[in-house]
Every structure is written in structure tokens, then in C-alpha cells.
Amino acid sequence: EVEPEILRELGLAIEDAYVCWPADCEPLNADVIAQGIGSQAADLIPAVEVLPAVGSTNDWLREQLREGEEPDDERQWQVVTAECQLAGKGRLGRHWRTPVGGSLALSVALNLSRPADSLGGLSLVVGLAVLEALDHDGALQLGLKWPNDIQAGSSKLGGILIEMLHSDSAGTRLIIGIGLNYRLPLQVQAGIDKDVTDLHEVGLQQSRSEILAAILERLQDFVAEFERAGFTR
């Protein structure tokens, strides 16, 4: 059972003992995501799991892997997203809640044919993939801040969290987590101790499902190039 205060913090209204979805929130749609990724990315991603709520998408995906939910083809990616996170994860173990429809949370489990000591720069590669998906014509003037922040000007727009699961001479199993502010209520922004912004505020009008599809498509290209050539060429 979730306390009413937490439900309200998540942007959910309580009316006549019913929990109501925010009127201005378009739910994530697995079909729209699947239709939006290119054929090459679709070969890697047989499905995208869409959850109503989760503690952390990275933690949820790790638990599935611990329970043996591995794909038949080790080249395939396992992808999960959620309407809201109750204990989203950031750098240095920071936790936060994100309201329903207010953020875009995405985690991808994949294998790379590189040992862990050759993965330097991967978070920047992921960040560049996200920037290109969001801002392919440069109109939004987005950027990266070392080591894992996605910025719009001086304000934080999102972040990247990469967690290693296993590594040996044959390669590395890891989870890439991507979190973006999509439409944060003012009261949520006021409770954050740094300058933040969201995709609506910087002028991006696409739905979260469309943005997720674009990120997955570009991520496939960037990760493939990183696996082939590393971070420096």
C-alpha cells in the first residue's frame, strides 16, 4: 500500500477512493516505441518492457537477469522503461522519485565484446547518442558535463548511469541507464538543490515514446561504433 502523500508527490490524484492518472500525461506505448526504431535496432531489441512504476529501472533489470531472464541470443538487448520511478538512481548512490509522466527512464542490458578496462569513455558515447536523438539539428543547444550529466545551458536535463555486471577476457555484461526530465512539476523542481530543466521547457514536443525510440535507434549506432573502434580513433 502506497501512502496518499507519495501518490500526490507522483502526480496522481485521489478522487472517491480512486487513483487517477494525470490528465496531461500520455502513457508510454510499447507499439509506438517499436514502430519508431529502425530495422537495425529492431533486430537487437525484440521487445521493450513498459512498467507502470518501479523502484529503479536499472535495479529491476538486474533482478530479471539474476532470475535467469536472459535472451536466447546474447547479442540482443533487454530494454525496460517505466512511467515513474520511486527510487531512481544517480551518481554516488543518490535516490529520487519522479512523477508519473514527468521523466523518461530507460535501462538497457547488453553484452560488449570488450573487457571492462577498455570501456573508458562509454558514458560519453551514450551521452552523444542521446544528444543526437534529441537535438539532431543543434537547435536546442544541448551538451554533456563530465562524467554523466546531460545539460541544457547550465541546467541539468538528465543523466547516465552505467553499471557493470560481469567482465572477463571475452567481454562485458552491463546495464546502461538513461534518465531525462520530461515535464517536471514546479514543486518538484523547487525541491532539487541544483538548476534543472526538462524537455518541454527547452522546446521538445515529441512524446516520451517517440523520444525513447529515437534514443534506442541512435544508441544502437553509437554503441556499435564504440565496440568496433573504442572511444578514440
Q: Residue 101: left if φ>0, alpha if ψ -120 to 50, beta else—which one?
A: left
Residue 96 predicted with pLDDT over 70: no
| pLDDT band (50, 70, 90) for residue 101 | confident
Q: How confident is the model at residue 15, as a pLDDT?
A: 66
pLDDT tens column, 173-229: 999 999 999 988 776 666 677 899 999 999 998 999 999 999 999 999 999 999 998
- In our burial notation (b when 16+ CB lie closer than 10 A, e otherwise), range 202-225 reads bebeebbbbbbbbbbbbbbebbee
To the nearest 5 percent, what fractions of the chain are helix, strand and coil? 30, 30, 40
Contact status, residue 48 vs residue 222, Cβ threshold 8 Å: no
Residue 170 predicted with pLDDT over 70: yes
Q: Which of 32-41, 83-92, 104-113, 168-177 has the weakest average pLDDT?
A: 83-92
Q: How confident is the model at residue 5, as a pLDDT?
A: 65
Q: How confident is the model at residue 57, as a pLDDT?
A: 94
Q: How confident is the model at residue 80, as a pLDDT?
A: 97
Instruction: Kindly report the pTM of this predicted structure.
Output: 0.87
Distance between CA atoms of residues 30 and 12, nearest Å: 22
